[in-house]
Amino acid sequence: MRIMTFAEEDVPAELRARADALREQAWPGGGPHDPALRPVTMLLVSPDGEVPAALDILTKEIVHGGRPYRAAGLSAVVTDAARQGRGYGRRLVAAARETIRESGADLGLFTCDRPLRGFYESAGWDELEGAVLIGGTPREPFPSDGPGFDKVTMAGFFTARAKRDAGAFRGSRVELYPGEIDRLW
């Protein structure tokens, strides 16, 4: 198994079809990401070209506490239903953390359903206690503590300035505003 990383528009057709089939399993009818979020696709690829797991990384500039940061988040993390529980998801999610760190992004930031907190922690991510991500747009905000949600916010602080300011993110409402397509990325 190897991990392959592409800008979303550069994923070779055969791998793209396999990754799309995985996403379709988990999120039927889902569409492509917003190109403005510079989507990067990471795939776990078997020696015979199968794709047991996939995820996407989305990136945007945010402002928090009056300071600008480059934030990246995980989106559409999925392992083939027939091959779950073999460590594939963890391996890809841990690799994505390294990819984001090496990209120069200040921080990684995303939400997940509460039962998956341990899965992401096992791949190196930390819970950002009490933090709420505000998705959507300033005009139509889509907060991660909205009705019916039981989300936790996961994060990694990578650059020196992000590490210094990490305390300002804990217990706060982070205005992510990724837009109308990837509303909570």
Ligand X SMILES: CC(C)(COP(=O)(O)OP(=O)(O)OC[C@H]1O[C@@H](n2cnc3c(N)ncnc32)[C@H](O)[C@@H]1OP(=O)(O)O)[C@@H](O)C(=O)NCCC(=O)NCCS
Positions touching ligand X (CB under 6 A) are: 26, 53, 77-79, 84-90, 112, 115-116, 118-119, 122
Minimum distance, C-beta of residue 144 to ligand X, in the bound complex (Å): 11
Our CB check for ligand X shows the closer of 52 and 136 to be 52
CA–CA dist 26, 116 (Å, integer): 15
Per the CB < 8 A criterion, the answer to whether 44 and 90 are in contact is no
Residue 130's DSSP bridge partners are: none
- Taking alpha carbons only, the member of 38, 184, 181, 182 closest to residue 104 is 38
Our CB check for ligand X shows the closer of 62 and 76 to be 76
Minimum distance, C-beta of residue 179 to ligand X, in the bound complex (Å): 18
Our CB check for ligand X shows the closer of 69 and 125 to be 125
Rounded to 5 degrees, what are φ and ψ at 149? -90, 145
Minimum distance, C-beta of residue 32 to ligand X, in the bound complex (Å): 17
- Taking alpha carbons only, the member of 56, 46, 47, 48 closest to residue 11 is 56
Minimum distance, C-beta of residue 167 to ligand X, in the bound complex (Å): 25
Our CB check for ligand X shows the closer of 77 and 174 to be 77
Contacts of 11 (CB under 8 A, 6+ apart): 19, 41, 43
DSSP state, residue 168: H
Minimum distance, C-beta of residue 83 to ligand X, in the bound complex (Å): 7
Our CB check for ligand X shows the closer of 94 and 165 to be 94
| Structure token digits, residue 1 | 């198994």
